[in-house]
Structure 1
Amino acid sequence: MIRDMTSGNTAKHLIHFSIPFVLGNMLQLTYNAVDSIIIGRFAGKDALAAVGTSTPIINILILGISGICIGASVLMSELFGAGNEKELKKAVSTTLLFGGVFSIFIMMLGLIFAPGLLRLLGVPQEIMHSSTLFLRISLTATPFIYWYNAVSAAMRSVGDSKTPIRFLAIASVLNACLDLLFVAVLDWGVAGAALGTNIAEACSAIFCMVYIYRKVPLLRLGKADFRFDRSMLDRILRHGSVTALQQSAQPIGKLIIQGVVNPLGVDAIAAFNAVNRVDDFAFTPQQSISHGMMTFVAQNRGAKKKDRVLSGLKVGLKLEFCYWILIGVLAFSLKEPIMRLFVKAEDVSTIQLGVDYLKWMALFYLFPAFTNGIQGFFRGMGNMKITLLSTLIQITTRVIFVLILVPHVGLNGTAYANAIGWTLMLAYEVPYYFRFKKRHTLLQGG
């Protein structure tokens, strides 16, 4: 459903946009966690560790793609808010055509260099074959990942957050069912897990594209609309390339961190991967609220409504804080039962490592609640450079302190490094916001 956010109650718009996004992503994350549970219980901790070592590489790809699509979505939201339907369709067409070539090129590079990347990460030899197999199979879904993100970005730009998430949720259920079939029943191990995910990702992309052609005339592309526009691509990449770099910086940092964790052994790798799944339940809904703020701010920037732009930031940060209370309490209270879901009861050392790590992260989830909200505002304002610079500060600091702390305090050092990185990120972003507000003509006097 198209939602024009340039009028009406701010909180109502953000909640209606963000809650379906949050609930859909939570459902997806539940089934992602189920994937890890199925792999850990039916294929063993070595398989769980193999998936964990490959995941940061896959995340670089996914977040790089989503960064380009986020940039495109900001531009599309602005065009929608300004009522420029012709340019909106041109932006959608150019984004899709560019992605077809770009995603195939990236996929081929990944398939060629997969073993070398894993060796650079110091992946233990006993799981090298499984890690390479999982990574290569996963990479073949790259075009579908791009098309899903691009079409979802177009739908979100016109205020429809429900539909893409609904299809993603359906695909997530399918993914879990296929994992049970391929891993638990057919015993295909990591190959079965990767194949199930690929089929589900293809379905989510196809569902979204069919829906637009049947139900959303505003975004439907006819033969005359389906063309590549170089000047539009330049505008998209001005937004999207910086965001893609910013999005990729996080998993690149995680890749380095994974390389520091790997020498701690398979138990630490498995525990780290399990807690990362819990991290997803904190970060992804926070990012979903941030996307709602981005769309709200961009639409109202296009409509030149200053007061609504500022109210989007204030209300969004309140929603972020409320979510932190929920996820922080749940993660801290249920840390041991959560870890027992991922690994067998006899793997006591893995469980204990995860419990110790998770108790700190439950507290530290407060910091990304605010960083995500602030970044959603700046993206909506078209200021991608600040999101890149602040992310680079955070991830660089985090990597440095992981390198310093992990050899001395073990896996918990990654949690402490997270908190330090997020603190410095906020120390940069908050003062910058007030300087930006004074300089920006739309926000002056607000």
Structure 2
Amino acid sequence: MKDLTKGRPSVLILTFALPIFLANLLQLTYSLADTRIVGTFLGDNALAAVGATTTLSNLIVQFLMGMCNGFAIISAQCFGAKDMDRLRRSLGNSLVLGLLAAVVLTIGGLVFLQPILRFLNVPENLLNTATQYVSVIIAGLVVTLLYDVLAATLRAIGDTVTPLIVLAVSVVLNIGGDLLLIVVLHMGVLGAAVATVLSQLIAVVVCAIYLWKKYVILRIRVNDLKLQDAGMLRNMLSSGLSMGFMSSLVNIGTLTLQTSINKLGQNIIIAHTAARKISEIFMIMFSVFGQTMATYCGQNLGAGKIERIRRGILLATGYTCIWCTLNIVTAYTIGDWLVWLVTGSENPEVVYNATLYLKVDTLFYYVTAVICIVRNAMQGLGERIVPLISSSLEMIGKIVIAATLVPMFGYPGVIAAEPIVWFIMIIPLLIKILRMPVWKQKT
């Protein structure tokens, strides 16, 4: 456990963020390895089929993850206030609420999968392969949810090392499962999806056993599973749904943009898949310090130590801006090599378009860094509305661009989409944070 309400903010933030960074890096390593394995052993058609549906699976998975992180903010506040009974009850309520949401999304996703894939304009020759892959991912949402709840709760009490170790085991099993099911057993993209779900299931079991043995304060009882505390339930739903929908709004915009990308041909689908995979690595620090700020602000708010919050936000923003500069240098020096590394493709159209995406969008990452830090800090401070407004602007912006710039300019319109919406969505965040009492108070 790590108490973020005591000690130097700079040291606390970095030591808390490092395991989250390594965990996210491991997750991205698997994602890249999965992409490369599919591309190398199953070919461009399979890679395009997976890429064409990635935004759909991300939409659902990120909603659940955002919701669990929102629940964990309440847990962080309880931990900061040293109220262990409420902390335990928040974990029990997180499991119940999360499982209800996961079951609903699983049923809805499987029932309406074909209409959704056709809405995404998935090419007819990729439809069957895409269906095989994404249906298994959706069927495993309950497993995904359980891991998210446990990992988020551990981070809420300051333990970022355990989720890292569990994830490392899961990633190794996942990659091994990919090679076994795809290369040896010849299960195709279905094997990649099955390997993902099975490795997550093992991660859940390991994490649950460790949590039960290590943390007595988190050993929930039957009463902790009952949704009987109206105040806590209201706060958890407000925080969880706010962060869940915030993630969903972002991904709905990306999903809509993908419908236009899927019309541009297989090479562009592969190029964009590669560009987004690399962008996920480039943007890793944004989510790392965003998660850190949500917990840091939540704990300090619960402890009533408001004066520490502003300094934490400034430090996290500074760290991510340094990372942005490194991203720009990387994109302009080895961007094309990274595209080949991810896809294994030497197709000039794929390499050129993916590299162009990286070179243009990294120039504006500083804006994204501020967005991620401020938005998550606001969630930790209990501000739910403005982050949703900001995410709504991103969704609307991408929908408009998908309907206008992409048909007019093709893939360059897609490349322009991100920077345009970033500049729009940062406006309400800056206006709100500068007006909040926590920002005006001297440190």
Counterpart residue number, 2:108? 109
- Provide the secondary structure at the position in 1 that maps to 2:217: coil
8 A contact 2:331–2:355 mirrored in 1: no
Counterpart residue number, 2:31? 32
Counterpart residue number, 1:277? 277
8 A contact 1:397–1:421 mirrored in 2: yes
8 A contact 1:95–1:233 mirrored in 2: no
- Decide which moves more: 32-41 or 337-346: 337-346
Q: Aligned partners of 1:224 and 1:391: how far apart in 2?
A: 36
- Provide the secondary structure at the position in 2 that maps to 1:29: helix
1:263-306 CA-partner distances (Å, limit 9, x unpaired): 10111111111111111112333111111111111111111112
8 A contact 2:50–2:133 mirrored in 1: yes
Please report how far the alpha carbon of residue 219 of structure 1 lies from its aligned counterpart in structure 2 after TM superposition.
Answer: 1.3
1:6-155 matches, within 5 Å, as 6-155=5-154
Please report how far the alpha carbon of residue 444 of structure 1 lies from its aligned counterpart in structure 2 after TM superposition.
Answer: 4.1
Counterpart residue number, 1:400? 400
- Provide the secondary structure at the position in 2 that maps to 1:263: coil
- Decide which moves more: 361-370 or 124-133: 361-370
Q: Aligned partners of 1:171 and 1:214: how far apart in 2?
A: 20
1:228-239 matches, within 5 Å, as 228-229=227-228, 231=230, 232-239=232-239
Q: Aligned partners of 2:145 and 2:345: how far apart in 1?
A: 39
8 A contact 2:393–2:425 mirrored in 1: yes
Q: Aligned partners of 1:226 and 1:355: how far apart in 2?
A: 49
1:242-257 matches, within 5 Å, as 242-257=242-257
Please report how far the alpha carbon of residue 161 of structure 1 lies from its aligned counterpart in structure 2 after TM superposition.
Answer: 1.3
Counterpart residue number, 2:160? 161
8 A contact 1:35–1:179 mirrored in 2: yes
Counterpart residue number, 2:413? 413
8 A contact 2:55–2:254 mirrored in 1: yes
User: Are residues 1:203 and 2:190 paired?
Assistant: no
CA shift in 2, pair 1:346/1:314, >3 Å: closer
Q: Aligned partners of 1:352 and 1:186: how far apart in 2?
A: 35
- Provide the secondary structure at the position in 2 that maps to 1:334: helix
Please report how far the alpha carbon of residue 135 of structure 1 lies from its aligned counterpart in structure 2 after TM superposition.
Answer: 1.0
- Decide which moves more: 189-198 or 327-336: 327-336
User: Are residues 1:214 and 2:209 paired?
Assistant: no
Q: Aligned partners of 1:160 and 1:107: how far apart in 2?
A: 30
TM-score (norm 2): 0.96
TM-score (norm 1): 0.95
- Decide which moves more: 421-430 or 392-401: 392-401
Q: Aligned partners of 1:390 and 1:260: how far apart in 2?
A: 23
- Decide which moves more: 165-174 or 2-11: 165-174
- Provide the secondary structure at the position in 2 that maps to 1:264: coil
Q: What is the percent sequence identity of the aligned residues? A: 28
Q: Aligned partners of 2:305 and 2:135: how far apart in 1?
A: 47
Please report how far the alpha carbon of residue 99 of structure 1 lies from its aligned counterpart in structure 2 after TM superposition.
Answer: 2.1
Aligned pair count reads 442
8 A contact 2:307–2:441 mirrored in 1: no
Counterpart residue number, 1:391? 391
CA shift in 2, pair 1:71/1:334, >3 Å: same
Q: Aligned partners of 1:328 and 1:420: how far apart in 2?
A: 18
1:371-395 CA-partner distances (Å, limit 9, x unpaired): 1011121011010211111111123
Q: Aligned partners of 1:156 and 1:41: how far apart in 2?
A: 36
8 A contact 2:181–2:195 mirrored in 1: yes
8 A contact 1:32–1:176 mirrored in 2: no
Please report how far the alpha carbon of residue 157 of structure 1 lies from its aligned counterpart in structure 2 after TM superposition.
Answer: 0.9
Please report how far the alpha carbon of residue 87 of structure 1 lies from its aligned counterpart in structure 2 after TM superposition.
Answer: 0.8
8 A contact 1:14–1:316 mirrored in 2: yes
Please report how far the alpha carbon of residue 345 of structure 1 lies from its aligned counterpart in structure 2 after TM superposition.
Answer: 4.5
1:329-344 matches, within 5 Å, as 329-344=329-344
Please report how far the alpha carbon of residue 357 of structure 1 lies from its aligned counterpart in structure 2 after TM superposition.
Answer: 1.8
Structure 2 residues without counterparts, runs of 5 or longer: none
Counterpart residue number, 1:350? 350
In the alignment, residue 35 of structure 1 is paired with which amino acid? Answer: D
Please report how far the alpha carbon of residue 170 of structure 1 lies from its aligned counterpart in structure 2 after TM superposition.
Answer: 1.8
8 A contact 2:72–2:156 mirrored in 1: yes
Counterpart residue number, 1:371? 371
Please report how far the alpha carbon of residue 364 of structure 1 lies from its aligned counterpart in structure 2 after TM superposition.
Answer: 2.8
Please report how far the alpha carbon of residue 235 of structure 1 lies from its aligned counterpart in structure 2 after TM superposition.
Answer: 2.0
Please report how far the alpha carbon of residue 255 of structure 1 lies from its aligned counterpart in structure 2 after TM superposition.
Answer: 0.9
- Decide which moves more: 149-158 or 399-408: 399-408
In the alignment, residue 252 of structure 2 is paired with which amino acid? Answer: I
8 A contact 2:328–2:359 mirrored in 1: no
CA shift in 2, pair 1:61/1:13, >3 Å: same
Q: Aligned partners of 1:114 and 1:229: how far apart in 2?
A: 35
Please report how far the alpha carbon of residue 443 of structure 1 lies from its aligned counterpart in structure 2 after TM superposition.
Answer: 5.3
In the alignment, residue 265 of structure 1 is paired with which amino acid? Answer: G
8 A contact 2:249–2:394 mirrored in 1: no
- Provide the secondary structure at the position in 1 that maps to 2:404: helix
1:406-434 CA-partner distances (Å, limit 9, x unpaired): 22332232221100111112222212211
Q: Aligned partners of 2:345 and 2:60: how far apart in 1?
A: 34
- Decide which moves more: 296-305 or 200-209: 200-209
Q: Aligned partners of 1:30 and 1:135: how far apart in 2?
A: 20
- Decide which moves more: 387-396 or 128-137: 387-396
Q: Aligned partners of 1:344 and 1:165: how far apart in 2?
A: 29
1:75-121 CA-partner distances (Å, limit 9, x unpaired): 11111111111111111111112222321221111111111100011
1:51-78 CA-partner distances (Å, limit 9, x unpaired): 1121111111111111221221111111
- Provide the secondary structure at the position in 1 that maps to 2:57: helix
CA shift in 2, pair 1:344/1:376, >3 Å: closer
Q: Aligned partners of 1:46 and 1:219: how far apart in 2?
A: 46
- Decide which moves more: 227-236 or 83-92: 227-236
Q: Aligned partners of 2:226 and 2:359: how far apart in 1?
A: 52
